[in-house]
Structure 1
Amino acid sequence: MNIFLDYLLLLSIALYSYLEAFIKLFIPLKRKSVSGDIVLITGSGHGMGQLTAYEFAKRQSILVLWDINKNGVTETAEECRRLGATAHIYVVDCSKRLDIYNAAEKVKREIGEVDILINNAGVVFGTEFLQLQDHQIEKTFEVNILAHFWTTKSFLPAMIKKNRGHIVTVASIAGHVGICYLVDYCASKFGAVGFHECLTEELNAMGYDGIKTSCLCPVFVNTGFVQNPKTRLWPVLAPEDVVKCLMDGILTNKKMIIVPSSVKHHLLFQKFLPERVLNKLTKMQEIQFSTQYRSATKKD
């Protein structure tokens, strides 16, 4: 086809997409039913993983709960059952590939094929790059991104056979912007965002349009991973609010879920603002947090 016609077609598609998006602002999005779906959530013993499990329990999904903390995941399962859902617990160390593979085989054998996979487990150390221990860097990547490969390799084949399923990547705004004292964490979350985008593209290219993907990218969430998080320009989010956005995104098959949505403007600025301006914006943020490894303050 003539290159001019290609660009003309591209413009037509863009105009149609913008018009469609504008019309959808006034039409409630249709939400899919997850009743009876087998939903596996890693890191479901606390925080957002736990709250996400409760939301699926309210919708009568079958919960498969993974966590390294037996007490936490047991507590989650008990509440899910109180809400009327079936819940199964597995103590799994998501930093270990064979642990994941073995647990995945048990799930398929004992419960069935997973319909919705939520890769939520994560770790953060929060210290200067040169103070990071090698084992901490390895752990960050093993849990925050490599585990996504092992779980998805385990459960995607059955989704492909049915051309049905949903893979959810819990990342972070730290997968789009760099933050001081979080070099390993940001790098792993950049990897998670890339994993989501490339997997989405590959499934689309292979024609598996029934398999949906979503990626959650919130700003600081007050889950206890870091203590006393503060920023000047971005809000510190309650986990309940983030999980609500996550559920809305999953039920409407939204690909990229950025919370709050206003942060999209900041990401857009990164594409064209001069470096000096971006540096000033970073200083204006006055990002502060503490962990057991350090107290981090970034101010002008």
Structure 2
Amino acid sequence: MASPREGFNIDIIGRFVRKSLLNQHLTLPIAAAATFLSFDSSGNYLAKAAHVFASLGINPSAVSPALTQKVGRLALILGATGLLLSFNEWLTKWFANNWTATKRGEWDWDREIVVVTGGSQGLGAGIVHGLLARNPRTTIVVVDFVPLTWEPPTGSNIYYYCADLSDSADIKNVCEKIRTEVGHPTVLVNNAGIARGRTIMEGTYADVEMTFKVNLIAPFLLIKEFLPDMVKHNHGHIANVCSTSSFVAPPNIVDYSASKAGIRSMHDGLQLELVYRHKAPKVRLTNGVFNFIKTPLFTGSTGIPNFLVPLLRIETVSEAIVNTLYSGYGTTLILPGMMRYVSMLQGAPEWMLRYVRNGSAKYDIDFTARHIIDSKTGKLVER
């Protein structure tokens, strides 16, 4: 869920309701107590309850068996709803992790090797800093086309490799270097991505090809490079940064949206391959499906009230990813929480889904490409 960093929003209300009214650990005992009091034939316990209410400044005459029954029924409904939500969360967690538990000490962050693509700035840098805050001794490998925009802390195990993730040969070379010079990665965060911000008609061949190479093909190839050792030891975590545009594709970033939809399919298919083909159920997978994040890559407004769909801060998203990695379990992260309901519309009637999609056409956003593409070579050029 979105955090207070994004200002007051519906996710905060949802979190409060879930921990109070829909918290079965609170409401079910209230339901049980109210039911007991409403059927107290002796009147002793009801009298005692009235005395307690009186001490709180509440009129004792208002405490009647009828009212107590109504309170009990309401608390029972709320408690049952909370119980169903908890059961759903429980099923979601264990299905996503193939019913295999993470044992204490199974993840040793002094020994794990984490690769973060696009970690030089933005969300990638936030993930690196979040990992270092949890354990400064963790070995982290940053793979990016641009140099680090931040200074690694003294004594930290930070490695930087320059690589053009649109070039498969470059990817293969840098992966070989990482394995030789650092070791076999146990965590891969596919964070690097680009958005050109042009319509299908206006975008060049290079725009379209670059978007798919960096956003979709590179994660595929990086997984191919690092997954075998994870499978061999039945230990690892692959986290992909996806987007809510994979559900609703706004104009001007259709190629970006399509590449992120490919990430969702890759995540779903890889889950099955790990269990049924490779017999490595404890290699965890996380798919981070995020709405717009406040970065220098775009300016403008979505036109949607911040209360409903807040513009996410880098710290909120990076914190969610790092917490998930440290949990030892994979999941699907959808931020902000309201976008869960948008994702559910994929099976809705076309008219309903189209109504939601039409709203994205009103976005007043200017996407700023992070890199320049050389018109002659089609290669990335550092801005």
Report the Cα distance in structure 2 between the residues aligned to 1:106 and 1:23, rounded to whole angstroms: 40
> Where does 1:29-48 land on structure 2 (aligned, <5 Å)?
34-48=109-123
Report the Cα distance in structure 2 between the residues aligned to 1:103 and 1:131, rounded to whole angstroms: 33
Q: Is the 8 A contact 2:248 2:357 kept in 1?
A: no
Report the Cα distance in structure 2 between the residues aligned to 1:187 and 1:218, rounded to whole angstroms: 15
Report the Cα distance in structure 1 between the residues aligned to 2:85 and 2:353, rounded to whole angstroms: 30
The structure-2 alpha-carbon separation of the partners of 1:262 and 1:98, relative to structure 1 and needing over 3 Å to count, comes to: same
**Are positions 1:251 and 2:319 aligned together?**
no
The offset of 1:146, in angstroms, is 0.3
The offset of 1:34, in angstroms, is 2.7
> Where does 1:263-274 land on structure 2 (aligned, <5 Å)?
263-272=339-348, 274=349
- Could you give the per-residue CA deviations for residues 161-189 of structure 1, whole angstroms, max 9, x where no partner exists? 11111111111111222222111001100
The offset of 1:65, in angstroms, is 0.8
Corresponding residue for residue 174 of structure 1? 245
- Could you give the per-residue CA deviations for residues 82-126 of structure 1, whole angstroms, max 9, x where no partner exists? 4x5310111111111111110110111111110101111100011
Corresponding residue for residue 218 of structure 2? 147
Corresponding residue for residue 185 of structure 1? 256
Counterpart pick for 1:56 among 131, 141, 161: 131
The structure-2 alpha-carbon separation of the partners of 1:164 and 1:137, relative to structure 1 and needing over 3 Å to count, comes to: same
Report the Cα distance in structure 1 between the residues aligned to 2:297 and 2:92, rounded to whole angstroms: 37
Q: Is the 8 A contact 1:220 1:229 kept in 2?
A: no
TM-score by length of 1: 0.82
- Could you give the per-residue CA deviations for residues 46-89 of structure 1, whole angstroms, max 9, x where no partner exists? 1000010111112231011111012xx2x44x23x24x531011
Report the Cα distance in structure 2 between the residues aligned to 1:33 and 1:193, rounded to whole angstroms: 29
Corresponding residue for residue 199 of structure 1? 270
**Are positions 1:127 and 2:198 aligned together?**
yes
**Are positions 1:241 and 2:335 aligned together?**
no
Q: How many residues align?
A: 269
- 2:309 aligns to what SS in structure 1? coil
The offset of 1:234, in angstroms, is 2.0
The offset of 1:287, in angstroms, is 2.3
The code of the aligned residue for 1:38 comes to I
The offset of 1:254, in angstroms, is 3.0
The structure-2 alpha-carbon separation of the partners of 1:287 and 1:104, relative to structure 1 and needing over 3 Å to count, comes to: same
After superposing the two structures, state which structure 1 stretch, 54-63 or 279-288, moved more: 279-288
Corresponding residue for residue 280 of structure 1? 355
The offset of 1:42, in angstroms, is 0.6
**Are positions 1:98 and 2:169 aligned together?**
yes
> Where does 1:211-250 land on structure 2 (aligned, <5 Å)?
211-232=283-304, 233-250=308-325
Counterpart pick for 1:158 among 229, 247, 250: 229
Report the Cα distance in structure 2 between the residues aligned to 1:261 and 1:291, rounded to whole angstroms: 24
- Could you give the per-residue CA deviations for residues 128-177 of structure 1, whole angstroms, max 9, x where no partner exists? 11001001100000000000111111111111111111111111111222
The offset of 1:277, in angstroms, is 2.8
- 2:194 aligns to what SS in structure 1? coil
The structure-2 alpha-carbon separation of the partners of 1:38 and 1:284, relative to structure 1 and needing over 3 Å to count, comes to: same
Q: Is the 8 A contact 1:33 1:251 kept in 2?
A: no
The code of the aligned residue for 2:141 comes to V
Of the two structures, which has the highest relative contact order with CA contacts closer than 8 Å and spacing of 6 or more?
2
The structure-2 alpha-carbon separation of the partners of 1:236 and 1:163, relative to structure 1 and needing over 3 Å to count, comes to: same
- Could you give the per-residue CA deviations for residues 233-281 of structure 1, whole angstroms, max 9, x where no partner exists? 5221111111111122222323211111221112113322x33333333
Report the Cα distance in structure 1 between the residues aligned to 2:258 and 2:126, rounded to whole angstroms: 26
Report the Cα distance in structure 1 between the residues aligned to 2:184 and 2:218, rounded to whole angstroms: 18
Q: CA RMSD in A?
A: 2.6
The code of the aligned residue for 1:235 comes to P
Segments of 5+ residues of structure 2 without an aligned counterpart are 1-82, 94-101, 370-383
Report the Cα distance in structure 2 between the residues aligned to 1:147 and 1:23, rounded to whole angstroms: 32
Segments of 5+ residues of structure 1 without an aligned counterpart are 1-14, 294-300
After superposing the two structures, state which structure 1 stretch, 178-187 or 131-140, moved more: 178-187
Report the Cα distance in structure 2 between the residues aligned to 1:250 and 1:127, rounded to whole angstroms: 34
- 2:109 aligns to what SS in structure 1? coil
TM-score by length of 2: 0.65
Report the Cα distance in structure 2 between the residues aligned to 1:281 and 1:131, rounded to whole angstroms: 25
- 2:310 aligns to what SS in structure 1? coil
Counterpart pick for 1:210 among 275, 282, 306: 282
The structure-2 alpha-carbon separation of the partners of 1:89 and 1:202, relative to structure 1 and needing over 3 Å to count, comes to: same
